[in-house]
Structure 1
Amino acid sequence: MDSGGGGKHFILLHGLAHGAWCWYKVVAQLRAAGHRATALDMAASGVHPARLHEVASFEDYSRPLLDAVAASPDSDRLVLFKRTIKPDFFMDSTTTIVNTEQGPRTALLFGPNLLASKLYDQCPAEDLELAKLLVRPGFQFMDDPTMKDETLLTDGNYGSVKRVFVVAKADRSSTEEMQRRMVELSPGADVEEVAGADHMAMLSKPTEQKVTMWMINKHGGKAPVQTKGPSIDRELCGSPRQREAMEVGGGEKHFVLVHGLCLGAWSWYKVATALESAGHRVTALDLAASGAHPARLQEVRSFEEYSRPLLDAVAAAPDGDRLVLVGHSHGGASLALAMERFPRKVAAAVFVDAAMPWVGKHIGVTTEGFMKKAASKGLLMDCQIVAITDGTGSEEGAGQRGTAIVMGPEFLKKCYKESPAEDLTLATLLVRPGNQFMDDPVMKDEALLTAANYGSVKKVFVVAKAAHGSSASAEEVQSWLAATNPGTEMQEIAGADHAVMNSKPRELCDVLVGIASRYD
């Protein structure tokens, strides 16, 4: 493919309520084939920072695409791809009125039944879970002047661009007849077919979608697509017999999954799917200004506010609902705060290669230790430390509200070095700047964590044996746990990088279910 098509530049556009993330499989495959791929978040979509009420027009919504195309060199001939949705299959979707400067507008949020039965019905269960965690309300801009202008598209410009329509043969959101009708309304467009593809062809048939793009680029859409995609391992939590045993042994448990710094609930999509398929309840949370959470970083004034989604979720759990809290990386700090506040609601807390403080020390003690080690050994690599400003004042330092970490691509490669390339791509599309709140009063309070509350909760530390920057032996980790958190159980996952939930989801699922069955 490289020698035939060369290093082409593909720009990939998502459909309503989605984001650049939905192209993560195709982006990984295109890049592996030597092409450039740019997956864009339209305004107020994916992890784009705009809020829906701030997007004044269809032009504003499309600005990320318009800017990307305008910025490309004249010699850089782009291949544009977009997915969309038929407007009358919304099922359990909900609408809300959003007040904007242009007046009230109706926003649409896709419902889980629509996602499962009409859009993702041929996709792996993990991708449906990912969509549930990431879809955002969206405007269709049906009354926007640009959308209503019948003279806008001209033969000299729009009509001169080669167009190819990809028919998703198993799309339940629109019939094949309807898809081909759209082709008839756009004379001169070629047609490619992807058999077995649902509406989210980039997820249900990513390899076929990639080959289709290449054929379109090389042959003008004339070559047939014959390549079959790789099989998807759906056995993330052991064999069916193992899953049945886990359900019987542990019963229906409630797992609350907390992501690490700069990540979001999306990072748990594989483990959440596996736990749910085993009959357990799962709550994967976006902490404030993370994942698809609507807050902006500068608006989150404290570690307490950052952790509020977790604290609220634990507080809302019934008294008899003993939770298994699972925290990854910096998420362990938020776990500690929830354990101190609600010890009787937590059956066990699992720290997955995570910050785990101890009684008599402040919550940020382990993060401080890592940052000192990172500074001395260069572990942060190409990460950037940037100022968080509230936009006030023009003098240097005016309005600054601490600093944030922006994860660099080389650092992410190290964190995901044992994970599938698709998961690294997903992370590059979804990470956001993160605040560690190292100077926050809650993080610095050495009297906050008490033996009666935090110390009374059963704790399990999961060692990722292949994690970047971790060279400690099992004996060293066990010794550290004995000194800081006596009684803490240790579990090891061989071959796991720092993104344990991506590199070893099956093994992590087995560990979590085993923990839940032992502690009630």
Structure 2
Amino acid sequence: MATFVFIHGGFHGGWCWHKVTARLEAQGHRAIAPDMAGHGIDPTPRYTVTMDLIVSRLCELIDGIDGPVALIGHSLGGAVMSNVAERRAEKIERLYYVTAFLLANGDSTHGTLQRRKKGGTQSGLSDDGAQLLPSLDSVRDLFYHLCSDDDVALAKMLLVPENAVVALGPVSVTPERWGKIPRYFVECTQDKAIPPELQRKMHVEMGCTRYWEIPADHSPFFSLPDALVEILLTR
């Protein structure tokens, strides 16, 4: 039995992994999908949420789990996961970046997106002071264009604003800790939020033990959960 801990991306909550966790649990594995601070049903005031707070809470969760864990990070959750892995390298046996930000030491999600934006890619997000808000009119095309109507309706009810300082939070990793953990990347070839060429650039430059390509949008936990589970169980 393996223990999987899922780290959701911006705007989402642990709820987005429900299809994947249910499939893993049905096969006898332990699957944990917490809400990051200020997301989902976590009551932390959103204006107080920082990258460090999110990472510290996840480290506390991992400290309470017996045995090694595999971490899975999606989108912004990839940057969060790298920071968690650096702090708890001794507890983590594998890292899976699912169309996620796999960044070098000192880089941030915001910095990566800004460089990409200057190249002409639009994020589909509006900046409302300290909060980043997804336009509900654009989220289907940006995040869920291969997902069912039911999945899109659920997401629209549960998405929350993202505190911009989280995306500004840098990744802090070292070769001695994070760098020693096997890294895997799931490249989603139909993603409109993180284009495949950017996904590929990240996992090629940062190096991964293995990567997979699947014909999914930005939300494979909805659109291709069986393919994702198969990858997670491949050793």
Identify whether the pair has TM-score above 0.5, normalized to the shorter chain: yes
Instruction: Tell whether 2:168 aligns with 1:424.
Output: no
Task: Give, as a single letter, the amino acid of the residue that structure 2 aligns with 1:340.
Answer: E
Question: 1:485: how far off?
Answer: 2.0
Report whether the alignment pairs 1:503 with 2:223: yes
Query: 1:501 corresponds to which letter in structure 2?
Result: F
Structure 1 residues 370, 449: closer, same or farther in 2, change over 3 A?
same
Distance, in Å, in 1 between the alignment partners of 2:131 and 2:225 is: 29
* Structure 1 stretch displaced more, 275-284 or 463-472: 463-472
Matched, 1:409 2:136: yes
Equivalent of 2:88 in 339, 342, 355: 342
Q: What's the counterpart of residue 111 of structure 2?
A: 368
Aligned length: 234
RMSD: 2.2
The unaligned stretches of length 5 or more in structure 2 are none
Q: Match of 2:203? A: 481
* Residue 317 (str. 1) matches residue 65 (str. 2): yes
Partner letter of residue 492 of structure 1?
E
The secondary structure found in structure 2 opposite 1:261 is coil
Counterparts of 1:249-268 in structure 2, within 5 Å, are 252-268=1-17
Shift of 1:431: 0.5
Letter in 2 for 1:419: C
Aligned counterpart in structure 1 of residue 23 of structure 2, from 270, 274, 285: 274
Displacement after TM superposition at 1:386 (Å): 1.4
User: Is the contact between residue 286 and residue 309 of structure 1 (CA under 8 Å) also seen in structure 2?
Assistant: no
**Is the partner of 1:463 in helix, strand or coil?**
strand
Instruction: Say which one has the larger Rg.
Output: 1
2:204 aligned with 1:459, yes or no?
no
The one-letter code matched in structure 2 to 1:368 is: G
Aligned partners of 1:338, 1:306: CA distance in 2, in Å? 9
Residues 256 and 283 of structure 1 are in contact (CA less than 8 Å); yes or no, is this contact kept in structure 2?
A: yes
Residues 1:379 and 2:125 aligned together: no
Query: What amino acid maps onto 1:310 in structure 2?
Result: L
The equivalences for 1:204-219 within 5 A come to: none
User: CA contact under 8 A between 1:255 and 1:282: conserved in structure 2?
Assistant: yes
Runs of 4+ in 1 over 4 A off after TM superposition: none
- Paired residue for 1:166? none
Contact between 1:405 and 1:434, CA under 8 Å: does it hold in 2? yes
Q: Is the contact between residue 287 and residue 308 of structure 1 (CA under 8 Å) also seen in structure 2?
A: no
Q: Deviations over 1:91-118 (max 9, x none)?
A: xxxxxxxxxxxxxxxxxxxxxxxxxxxx
- Whether the 8 Å CA contact 2:38–2:46 is kept in 1: the answer is yes
Q: Which has the higher contact order (CA 8 A, sep 6+)?
A: 2
The aligned runs of 1:392-407 (5 Å cut-off) are 403-407=130-134
Q: 3-state DSSP class of the match of 2:146?
A: coil
| Counterpart Cα distance in 2 of 1:469 and 1:304 | 24
The superposition leaves residues 320-378 of structure 1 with CA deviations (integer Å, 9 ceiling, x where unpaired) of x11010001000111011110111211101010001113xx2151x5421233246535
**1:71-110 map, 5 Å:** none
1:295 is displaced (CA, Å) by: 1.1
Distance 1:439 1:257 in 2: 18
CA shift for structure 1 position 299: 2.5
> CA, structure 1 residues 291+379, in 2 after alignment: closer, same or farther (shift >3 Å)?
same
What is the alpha-carbon distance in structure 2 between the residues aligned to residue 330 and residue 439 of structure 1?
7
- CA deviations 1:138-164 (Å, max 9, x no partner) are xxxxxxxxxxxxxxxxxxxxxxxxxxx
